[in-house]
């Protein structure tokens, strides 16, 4: 069996494109995870994406996770509410001043609480100033990402409210995989 998945690619081409969201009330912080940790990154990936069929990284070995996280220009920014991880955004600096928002999302219990807009705003601002933290990198000229119909109804509108513009749409058939949950056998 398969499902039809639409993927939208969006971009910003100037830091002036960013339209920040309001900071949510309460004790919400966004902190860079500066020590590459495959265990922590895999936790975030499965906790955020387990109910929406994020499966592309599940087969990666520990060494593969390490290699991804240790590449120059890769950063993980984590939103915390009252000290508890609520979601994350992973950036990857590419060639010629391009930065990709590789992963972004919230753990289900934290969705709908205005944390996502703030995390996306903060993380996108960090994409624009990435070269300041990575000597030798070209200044950012473009920030881009993709989202798809599996990501839920609020994903694309959040990106667009933050100033991302659509530049490509693709529709493909994908295998209808079982939602993996945050760990094998979990259903959410």
Quick one: which of 94, 34, 36 has its CA closest to 70?
36
Q: Are 75 and 133 in contact (CB under 8 A)?
A: yes
Cβ-Cβ contacts under 8 Å for 92 (sequence gap 6 or more): 71, 73, 74, 99, 100, 102
Residue stretches of the chain with pLDDT short of 50: 188
Residues 95-150 have pLDDT tens digits of 999 999 999 999 999 999 999 999 999 999 999 999 999 999 999 999 999 999 98
């Amino acid at each position: 069996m398969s499902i039809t998945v639409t993927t939208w690619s969006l971009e910003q081409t100037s830091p002036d494109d960013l339209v920040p969201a309001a900071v949510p009330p309460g004790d919400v912080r966004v902190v860079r995870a500066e020590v590459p940790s495959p265990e922590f990154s895999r936790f975030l990936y499965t906790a955020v994406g387990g109910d929406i069929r994020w499966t592309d990284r599940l087969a990666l070995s520990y060494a593969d996770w390490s290699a991804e996280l240790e590449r120059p220009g890769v950063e993980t920014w984590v939103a915390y509410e009252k000290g508890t991880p609520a979601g994350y955004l992973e950036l990857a600096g590419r060639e010629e001043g391009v930065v990709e928002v590789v992963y972004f999302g919230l753990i289900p219990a934290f969705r709908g609480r205005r944390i996502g807009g703030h995390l996306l705003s903060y993380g996108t601002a960090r994409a624009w100033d990435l070269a300041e933290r990575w000597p030798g990198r070209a200044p950012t000229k473009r920030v881009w990402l993709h989202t798809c119909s599996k990501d839920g109804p609020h994903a694309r509108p959040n990106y667009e409210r933050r100033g991302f513009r659509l530049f490509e749409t693709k529709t493909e058939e994908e295998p209808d995989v079982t939602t993996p949950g945050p760990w094998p056998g979990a259903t959410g």
